[in-house]
Amino acid sequence: MKLRIIAGIHGGRFITAPKGQTTRPTAARIREAWFSAVGDDIRHAKVLDLCSGSGALGIEALSRGARHVHFVEADRRTVSTLKRNVAELGIESQSTIIRADALHYVVRNHEMFDVAFADPPYGSSLAKELLSQFRKQAFAGQLWIEHDGSDGVSDGASWTRCYGETNVSGHWADVLVHNNEPPQPDFE
């Protein structure tokens, strides 16, 4: 299956979604609405793409001006497809690809990101577990999760929308960080 990058410098180009049932690519209309909600926060951002699959969310972020994306994907074959997508677009220098379980990665990694995307498998507890970890110790200024509406992930969200069976929820950290810099004090 081919997925189209919607906007930005790679807009109109296609990437490959992995074959089989291990991934569920985010529909183009949902990605478009999602990135409209994220808005300019993606420009110059350091992005974390959890359960990245084909890399569609992280690649869309790079296309729209993100500085760097860390792609985290557990499935070995899916990582191979992701690496090919990144290479075909020539964005290797802006990408770090990590083969790891998303939850283990955020628990063990102490790096802070501006924006994190997560598209875990529906029917798993991973969306709730990632949100719980984010609330304990934020790993990004914003955590955006695609999820099934019955899982409670939208509870307490700063932003949420429903697209049929697909829900997208945005959660903000207590202290937003942009480009790994602490908030600047307001002396006025």
Tens of pLDDT, residue by residue over 21-62, are: 667 788 899 999 999 999 999 999 999 999 999 999 999 999
pLDDT at 187 (0 to 100): 39
Class of domain 2-172: alpha beta
pLDDT digit string (tens) for 52-98? Answer: 999 999 999 999 999 999 999 999 999 999 999 999 999 999 999 99
Strands (DSSP E) found in 51-134: 68-73, 95-99, 113-118
- Could you give the percent of the chain with pLDDT greater than 70? 90
pTM: 0.90
Domains of the chain, by residue range, sit at: 2-172
Q: For residue 150, what pLDDT band results from cuts at 50, 70 and 90?
A: confident
